[in-house]
């Protein structure tokens, strides 16, 4: 049995930076609060919590005084910083630079548009931590849509600035933008419509589509490792599954089933930008283990 771990899979820069900052703080203070899961992978969260990381929610933050709190790579709305300042909280800001830049662009765009009755539209997952931070830059006025059917709630007669959550599908974003443009042309009766389409999907994420397709094509079976909360994981898993129907999703090594490998001897293991390499290695080891068990079973049947 040959098992290859995708060298392009694993944590993106933003997640690596957040985890490094958390581990550095924990070496000094032995405990650290983190607002929300530091990464959308429960196995990595459990590992860091065993080192002293304490995951809290927004309500916990309101009641917290004088502590250190890490803000993860997803970013936070202005309200979070206000609460932290009022409560004497020391902020360890691990917001991804790509997300920070996007927040700034949305704020500037909102400042320009609000006087012209314009609309900020964000293509993203409603309630996602990153999206909440982006909406916060517009004083809560941005319209979040995650599929084409929802564009009906837009006013196509007004100016629109379109942005995307950094981890969304590039293809779906382009399709969405095209549909909005068509509706604006139809409504306004002209081709020159007040629509600004901003390229805001992370380059590391957008490049993963092609990489994951190539990886899935070269293996008989693909095991995709991702946390259940990861939107990036869902998107990349769907791409894997469309490319190779023998693709299976697991959140940890316990999810591996030996039946998946019947008649196959070439397996690829890959994951999301929120999946740690050590977890993919454990999954690969489990695949070797169950494959060996299958060989033994077949041998016993023969004798």
Q: How many Å separate Cα 257 from the centre of its chain?
A: 26
Determine the Cα–Cα distance for residues 187 and 57; give it in Å rounded to an integer. Answer: 43
Helix, strand, coil percent values for the chain (each to nearest 5) = 50, 15, 35
Contact 271, 12 (CB under 8 A): no
**DSSP per-residue codes, 140-173:** T-PEEESSGGGGGGS-TTS-EEEEE-TTS-HHHH
Q: Tokens for 98, please give them.
A: 């790509």
Contact 62, 89 (CB under 8 A): no
Q: How far is CA 99 from CA 67, 216, 258, 260, in A?
A: 25, 29, 40, 38
| Among 273, 215, 269, residue whose Cα is nearest residue 243 | 215
* 228 in active site: no
Contact 175, 149 (CB under 8 A): no
Q: Which of 25, 44, 76, 130 is catalytic?
A: 130
Catalytic residues: 130
């Amino acid at each position: 049995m040959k098992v290859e771990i995708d060298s392009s899979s694993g944590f993106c820069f933003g997640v690596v930076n957040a985890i490094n900052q958390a581990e550095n703080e924990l070496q000094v203070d032995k405990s650290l609060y983190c607002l929300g899961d530091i990464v959308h992978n429960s196995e990595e969260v459990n590992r860091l919590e065993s080192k002293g990381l304490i995951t809290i929610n927004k309500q916990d933050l309101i009641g917290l005084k004088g502590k250190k709190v890490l803000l993860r790579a997803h970013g936070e709305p202005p309200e979070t910083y206000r609460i932290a300042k009022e409560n004497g909280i020391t902020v360890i800001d691990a917001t991804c630079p790509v997300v920070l830049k996007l927040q700034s662009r949305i704020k500037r765009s909102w400042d320009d548009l609000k006087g012209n009755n314009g609309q900020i539209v964000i293509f993203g997952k409603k309630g996602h931590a990153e999206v909440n931070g982006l909406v916060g830059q517009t004083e809560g006025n941005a319209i979040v849509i995650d599929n084409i059917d929802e564009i009906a709630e837009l006013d196509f007669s007004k100016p629109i600035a379109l942005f995307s959550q950094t981890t969304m599908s590039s293809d779906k974003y382009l399709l969405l933008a095209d549909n909005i443009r068509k509706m604006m042309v139809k409504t306004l009766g002209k081709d020159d419509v007040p629509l600004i389409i901003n390229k805001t999907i992370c380059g590391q994420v957008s490049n993963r589509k092609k990489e994951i397709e190539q990886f899935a094509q070269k293996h008989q079976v693909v095991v995709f490792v991702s946390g259940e909360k990861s939107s990036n994981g869902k998107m990349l898993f769907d791409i894997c599954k469309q490319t190779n129907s023998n693709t299976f999703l697991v959140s940890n090594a316990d999810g591996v089933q030996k039946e998946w490998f019947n008649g196959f001897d070439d397996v690829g293991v890959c994951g999301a930008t929120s999946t740690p390499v050590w977890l993919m290695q454990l999954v690969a080891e489990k695949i070797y283990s169950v494959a060996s068990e299958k060989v033994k079973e077949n041998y016993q049947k023969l004798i």
